[in-house]
Amino acid sequence: MKRRTFIAGAATAGSLAAVGSVAYGAAADPDRTASQAGHIRSATAITKVFGDGQKLMAVAVEYDQEIDTSTLSTSTFAVTDRTVTKVYANRTAALAERGKDGRYVIVELSSEDTAAALWVTGQGSSTPTSTPSSTSTATASPSPSSSSGSGGAPGGGGPVVGDDTPGGTIVAAKATLVQKGTVTSTRGTRYAATDTTLTTSSVVNLIVDDFKQFTYDDSATGQTLRYNLFVPKNYDPRKSYPLVLFMHDASVVNVATEGPLVQGLGAVCWASPEDQAKHECFVLAPEYGSVVVDDNYEPSTLFDATANLVESLTKRYSIDEDRRYTTGQSMGAMMSLGLSIKYPDLFAAAFIVAGQWPSDVAAPLADKKLWILVSQDDDKSYSGENAITKVIKEQGTAVATATWDGRSTAAQFAADVRSLKAQKAPVNYASFQTGTTVESGSSTSAHMGTWRIAYTIPGIRDWIMQQSRDDG
């Protein structure tokens, strides 16, 4: 984890930092910066990615002395348009289970707040229900309407994939807050409450900051791909590492390069400290400037460019050709299926989330190791996966099946995974039972609701990482 403020070109201090074509980062009001608050040195926004996207989850206020954590409470700070849930001291600008005396005061915020959302789509809880005020913690900066290729720009009415249409927006992470109570240092110095408004001037994006952004020029297709790459923290070229390719859905088309990292857990879950402790691996997440494949199943050349990018990175780093994996949601799931058919030696296993592919060409999937997850309420993807698994069975390959409750606890999902694995089939097919992927009255579709749950289940990722191309 590291602190980062995204800056593009010659952006002046205090302006929103731009990445790609959208605003992403933090803004500082030159008239109300944290440095003018006397003993306060800085204020840093802390973000975290959830199943429904990135959210602003805390502010780290840095003081000039170590702070006594026992003197803090949820009433010590007030954050504009946000609900304070926890306040404690820490030695770094980071979240913690328990406070410890340090120069940073961590003000944690509710993930349920409307203004928490930093990834905004046309559906679901990550879409603000009201327009934030001028002092809100988040101000949307939409992408431009220009586009290239066949997909159309976000919001530009491009092809629909499943039921997700291009139109996601990354919102700048910014918070304003006031110290409402007394803060006491470990030396006994008391910092009295003040009416001075503090504004965050930097951002820590948990896990997201651990990825680096690159571009790949593919001479074979003439395409240029922007992509995010996570390199294992202790990368040793003398060792051999797995690689996970995550491909996003159409709502993430043509946003900032970081789009696939902030739209949900599909990319970042593999790079979490917990997963890396179990399975050190590279994580690759391309950002597509146009829809690669829609429901007509006619991929653009970005499809082949993606396969070429995987091969290029395999040569550049010490990546094991027998332990490359693919996953994706909706459009990305379709690409994972299509790539597994066209390039049979590219991946050892695939995690398919809410996707489909024409069953009349699905026979080669009988030779693949697959974990498929879809909602029974998702008519197109559910019927599509039923057709695919029928073909796989007809080819003589065993398919383990189960129906899951999308409202299950982590422990229940862990048991579900164990039960499906116990069938010892190369293809695992789980479907969420009707009415369990979205809450009653929610505007989120079951299609999109599927991947908000899918990537929260670590047991599936563990199964994927155990597969190898050379073990049959």
* CA distances (Å), origin 201, targets 13, 164, 173, 230, 367: 10, 34, 10, 25, 52
Distance CA 124, CA 114 (A): 11
379 with 253, same domain: the answer is: yes
Same-domain status, 186 and 331: no
- Say if residue 459's pLDDT is above 80: yes
pLDDT interval class at 142 (50, 70, 90): very low
199 is a domain residue: yes
- Distance of alpha carbon 449 from alpha carbon 366, whole angstroms: 28
Model confidence at 150: pLDDT above 90? no
Residues 213 and 201 in one domain: no
User: Is 142 part of any domain?
Assistant: no
Check whether residue 401 and residue 362 sit in a common domain.
yes
Q: Is residue 159 part of a domain?
A: no
Q: Which of 205, 227, 255 is the last residue of a domain?
A: 205
Same domain membership, residue 212 and residue 194: no
Q: Tell me, yes or no, whether 236 lies in a domain.
A: yes
Same domain, 227 and 372: yes
Q: How far is Cα 240 from Cα 368, in angstroms, rounded to an integer?
A: 22
Region 244-265: mean pLDDT is 96
Any domain includes 160 = no
Within-domain flag for 235: yes
- Is residue 104 domain-shared with residue 241, that is, in the same domain? no
Domain final residue pick, 182, 205, 228: 205
Three-state secondary structure readout of 319-376? EEEEEEEEEEECHHHHHHHHHHHHCCCCCCEEEEECCCCCHHHCHHHHHCCEEEEEEC
CA distance 30 to 14: 6
pLDDT tens digit string along 225-254? 999 999 999 999 999 999 999 999 999 999
Domain harbouring 358, CATH code: 3.40.50.1820
Q: Mark which of 185, 205, 225 sits at the end of a domain.
A: 205
Nearest of 374, 225, 382 to residue 288 by alpha carbon: 225
Q: What is the pLDDT of residues 83-128, one digit of tens each?
A: 999 999 999 999 999 999 999 999 999 999 999 999 988 654 444 3
Range of the domain at 60: 3-137+174-205
393 and 305 in a common domain: yes
* 125 shares its domain with 241: no
Residue 139 scores a pLDDT above 90: no
* pLDDT of 365 higher than 60: yes
Per the domain annotation, does 158 fall within a domain? Answer: no
CB 260 within 8 A of CB 266: yes
Distance between CA 265 and CA 231 in Å, rounded? 17
Q: Are 248 and 191 in a shared domain?
A: no
What is the domain count for the chain?
A: 2
pLDDT at site 470: 77
Instruction: Give which of 310, 212, 325 is closest to 275, Cα–Cα.
Output: 325
For residue 52, what is the domain's CATH number? 2.60.40.2180
Using a pLDDT cut of 90, give the percent of the chain over it: 79
Whether residue 220 is found in the same domain as residue 312:
yes
Residues 201 and 231 in one domain: no
Average pLDDT in the chain: 86
Q: Is residue 453 part of a domain?
A: yes
